[in-house]
Amino acid sequence: MPVKGLFSDIDDPLGGTEGLVIPPDLNAVDGPHIGEAEEAVVLSLSDLVPDAQGEVVLFNDADAPVMIAADRPVIASGMAEPHVTAAGIDVTGMHYSSFDTGVTVYHDPDIPLTVG
């Protein structure tokens, strides 16, 4: 049976709406709302563990902004040419940032990445 309201096109696996709290208006819900900016996930460059080629691939299913805290400068960045990492991950078309430490971080171009 479809659940009415916010999730109108999703079938309720329990067959009803008992126990579900469906706000009539998103503004009635406390906390962050859909579309509001989220705080960035902060990763330290020194905590990232590169593969044998000095590469790290970041995956972010939450689409949250990611910040790499680094005290080392980025010496190159851009979009990766056809390439597979030592770990076997195809990074073709991903964005990358290479640091002067020899570490290169690859990430999805749709995920904001800030180095600071």
* Strand 104-107 with 95-99, pairing: antiparallel
Indicate whether 73 and 96 sit together in one domain: yes
Q: Using one digit for the tens of pLDDT, what is the confidence trace for 15-65?
A: 444 444 444 443 444 444 444 446 888 889 999 999 999 999 998 877 778
Q: Using one digit for the tens of pLDDT, what is the confidence trace for 48-107?
A: 999 999 999 998 877 778 888 888 899 999 999 999 999 999 999 999 999 999 999 998
Indicate whether 78 and 105 sit together in one domain: yes
**Total of domains in the chain:** 2
Indicate whether 51 and 97 sit together in one domain: yes
pLDDT at 66: 84
In a domain, 76, yes or no: yes
Residue type at 94 in one-letter notation: M
| Domain with 86 in it | 41-115
Indicate whether 61 and 4 sit together in one domain: no
In a domain, 98, yes or no: yes
In a domain, 25, yes or no: yes
Indicate whether 48 and 104 sit together in one domain: yes
In a domain, 36, yes or no: no
Residues counted in the chain: 116
